[in-house]
Chain A
Amino acid sequence: MAASKCTRLSGASVKPLLDSLDCVLFDCDGVIWRGDQVVPGAPQVINLLKKHGKRVFFVTNNSSKTRKMYADKMSRMGFDVTQEEVFGTAYCSAAYLKSVCKLEGKVYLIGGDALRQELEAVGIQQTGVGPDAVSGVQSDWANVPLDPEVKAVLVGFDEHFSYMKLNRALQYLTDPGCLFVGTNTDTRLPLEGGKAVPGTGCLLKAVETAAQRQAQTVGKPNHFMFDCVASQFGLDRTRCLMVGDRLDTDIMLGSNCGLKTLLTLTGVSTVADAEAHQKSGSAERQRMVPDYYVESIADFLPALQG
């Protein structure tokens, strides 16, 4: 397993690798697009993989779009994709609460409309979405009326995050029987131009600190997102490749699930980052070392077009 890792995938090696695969899973940001800019060649790669009979899935920690919104964005950009092939954390968190937690009851949601929609799609009602500012005095908020049907708190990306929302989540979480789930722990949103926008991880950390409890996270590198894909489509892990730009989420997920892993350099992590993990003595860090790396997924094109 540790034999040869972190090797550059040369042109000649692409075809043998593809021949060993039935299925390729792609992260989105930094892999097939960057914000609203498509990575050149990405649509052709995805479409050709499918033409060659490979199953293609998309696995993203972003919780601000439903699978339908993702499929629409992909279509607009030239990707031939159906919504069933997209697994975002909004969809997966709803699936987690429904199928794994078997939640009967409502969710107090810190998150956007996509999360609300995905929850409703599996029959889970939520309370809390939208702006929520503090009013009255401190003793009012501590005694804020709690909905007795709420049995879980779910934290995802929320641009309306406020002290009041943090407070409500805390009040629900003082009941140890209330579930606590986070969509993902990414600390920043991936954006063009380098502007730093805080990610869900920051909001989740605020709630975890106040409540002195740790959330169960759904997103990469937790294996749940792969389980979600695998449970709907029979997959042979040994014939799956995970393609991502982040060592700590994408590659780690691949390692955790026994998949082959490929780092693309169009996003966050670098080869130097990967080599540093490889040289470390830590077993945990070894799981962030990809099997292969490429400059961009467009590097697949010659083998696919040939």
Chain B
Amino acid sequence: MAGMATSTRGCCKIRGSGIRELLDNKHTVLFDCDGVIWNGDAAVRGAPEAVSLLKRHGKKVYFVTNNCTRPRATYATKFSRLGFTDVAEEEIFSSAYCSAAYLRDAELQEGGKVFVIGCQGLMEELREAGVPVVVEESDQRAGNIYDYPLDPDVRAVLVGYDDQFTFSKLAKACCYLQNPACLFLATDPDPWHPLRGGRITPGSGSLTAAVETASSRTATVIGKPSCFMFECIASQFGLDPARSLMVGDRLETDILFGAKCGLDTLLTLTGVSTMEEAQEHKDSQDPERKNLVPDYVIDTIADFIEAYKEEEEEQG
């Protein structure tokens, strides 16, 4: 484990002292949420203790999630409810929060608004950031799919998970995007999201695909694996990628994100991706797949507890 060449990404299963050595070299740990620290509404066993442990050992800890349905405040409440006692709102970076930050900094023209396909949580983050949003009329009143009112002040379209998605919203987004100066953002690329019991639900990525197809334009994606969320964290808290570790459960989002941002990556097996899938990417000849290979693999982040206990025992 020590001295592992990072040019050949390893897929190395580690525990105990291997984990400790890895963590000792890092100042910052970034965690994905779903499948890493919790699954649905239940914390991964040992996760709250693992997070506290890292903080006690002086690590900076941030949470990076593609979820765009809740404002940070609601997330902080969930952390607390699930037993993570020392997580501050400022440490939580969701694609909703980061999309709002991006638009706030984009310097939309005076009076410029954003047409949003998304849910209440996303709207709230935009309001918090002071980004004006087009207020969506109830579709039934506002014309039909061929003829509907458009707001002349729209300067950007943002697409995120929206359980109230309709054809009308798709048509409006497409019309706004006819103007090449109109920005086109997507909160995240996830085609589906896992729910409890092995079920899945359509994700932001599927809605974005519809809008991209209609407009013949490609969205700028804020969420993982795009590096924007890392830049968002780095702009608020100084971060050294070489001293930062990304911990996630999805190879094509979390691990790829870590690789693209220059971080070491750690796959935990409590979520979506498996060791077999990681190994397949490692064995593949396709150079594009090497960034999907995690440097290290653990069964669960609860293994951090054991790693530090060993150290404490050794020092005792």
Q: Which residue numbers of A lie inside 8 Å of B, CB to CB?
A: 133-134, 138-139, 141-143, 158-164, 166-167, 170-171, 174, 187-188, 191, 195-199, 201-203, 205-212
Q: Using Cβ atoms and an 8 Å threshold, which residues of chain B touch A187?
A: 213-214, 216
Given contacts A191-B146, A206-B207, contact A138 B167 (CB under 8 A): no
Does B164 contact A170, Cβ atoms closer than 8 Å? Answer: no
Q: Using Cβ atoms and an 8 Å threshold, which residues of chain A touch B211?
A: 202
What CA separation (Å) do A211 and B206 show in the bound complex? Answer: 9
Given contacts A139-B195, A158-B167, A161-B167, contact A203 B200 (CB under 8 A): no
Q: Using Cβ atoms and an 8 Å threshold, which residues of chain A touch B174?
A: 196-198
Q: Which residue numbers of B lie inside 8 Å of A, CB to CB?
A: 144-147, 162-167, 170-171, 174-175, 178, 191-192, 195-197, 199-203, 205-207, 209-216
What CA separation (Å) do A198 and B166 show in the bound complex? Answer: 12
What CA separation (Å) do A142 and B193 show in the bound complex? Answer: 10
Does B166 contact A196, Cβ atoms closer than 8 Å? Answer: no
Partner of A198, one of B167, B178, B202: B167
Q: Using Cβ atoms and an 8 Å threshold, which residues of chain A touch B209?
A: 205-206, 208-209
What CA separation (Å) do A133 and B174 show in the bound complex? Answer: 21
Does A142 contact B213, Cβ atoms closer than 8 Å? Answer: no
User: How distant is B201 from chain A, measured CB to nearest CB, in Å?
Assistant: 5
Partner of B163, one of A139, A163, A170: A163
What CA separation (Å) do A292 and B99 show in the bound complex? Answer: 50
Chain B minimum-CB-distance residue to A201: B213
User: How distant is A178 from chain B, measured CB to nearest CB, in Å?
Assistant: 15
How many residue pairs between the two chains, A and B, have CB atoms under 8 Å in the bound complex?
Answer: 105
Chain A minimum-CB-distance residue to B166: A162
Does B170 contact A198, Cβ atoms closer than 8 Å? Answer: yes
Q: Using Cβ atoms and an 8 Å threshold, which residues of chain A touch B145?
A: 159, 197
User: How distant is B94 from chain A, measured CB to nearest CB, in Å?
Assistant: 16
Q: Using Cβ atoms and an 8 Å threshold, which residues of chain A touch B165?
A: 162-163, 166
What CA separation (Å) do A198 and B178 show in the bound complex? Answer: 12
What CA separation (Å) do A158 and B171 show in the bound complex? Answer: 12
Of B167, B170, B178, B209, most buried by chain A (CB within 10 Å of CB) is B167
Does B200 contact A174, Cβ atoms closer than 8 Å? Answer: yes
Does A198 contact B171, Cβ atoms closer than 8 Å? Answer: yes
Chain A minimum-CB-distance residue to B173: A198
Does A166 contact B206, Cβ atoms closer than 8 Å? Answer: yes
Q: Using Cβ atoms and an 8 Å threshold, which residues of chain A touch B205?
A: 209-210
What CA separation (Å) do A195 and B213 show in the bound complex? Answer: 16
Known: A133-B164, A211-B192. 6 other contacts (CB 8 A): A139-B196, A142-B199, A159-B145, A159-B167, A163-B207, A209-B205
Does A203 contact B164, Cβ atoms closer than 8 Å? Answer: no
Q: Using Cβ atoms and an 8 Å threshold, which residues of chain A touch B175?
A: 195-196
Does A205 contact B210, Cβ atoms closer than 8 Å? Answer: yes
Q: Using Cβ atoms and an 8 Å threshold, which residues of chain B touch A138?
A: 163, 195, 201
Q: Using Cβ atoms and an 8 Å threshold, which residues of chain B touch A199?
A: 214
What CA separation (Å) do A138 and B199 show in the bound complex? Answer: 11
User: How distant is A172 from chain B, measured CB to nearest CB, in Å?
Assistant: 12
Does B201 contact A141, Cβ atoms closer than 8 Å? Answer: yes
Partner of B202, one of A159, A196, A203, A210: A210
User: How distant is A148 from chain B, measured CB to nearest CB, in Å?
Assistant: 17
Partner of B192, one of A161, A163, A196, A210: A210
What CA separation (Å) do A158 and B167 show in the bound complex? Answer: 8
User: How distant is B22 from chain A, measured CB to nearest CB, in Å?
Assistant: 33
Chain B minimum-CB-distance residue to A134: B163
What CA separation (Å) do A79 and B311 show in the bound complex? Answer: 87
Partner of B200, one of A142, A195, A198: A142
Chain A minimum-CB-distance residue to B199: A142
User: How distant is B284 from chain A, measured CB to nearest CB, in Å?
Assistant: 18
Does B164 contact A202, Cβ atoms closer than 8 Å? Answer: no
Does B146 contact A198, Cβ atoms closer than 8 Å? Answer: no
Q: Using Cβ atoms and an 8 Å threshold, which residues of chain B touch A197?
A: 145-146, 171, 174
User: How distant is A165 from chain B, measured CB to nearest CB, in Å?
Assistant: 9
Q: Using Cβ atoms and an 8 Å threshold, which residues of chain B touch A202?
A: 170, 210-211, 213-214
Does A167 contact B201, Cβ atoms closer than 8 Å? Answer: yes
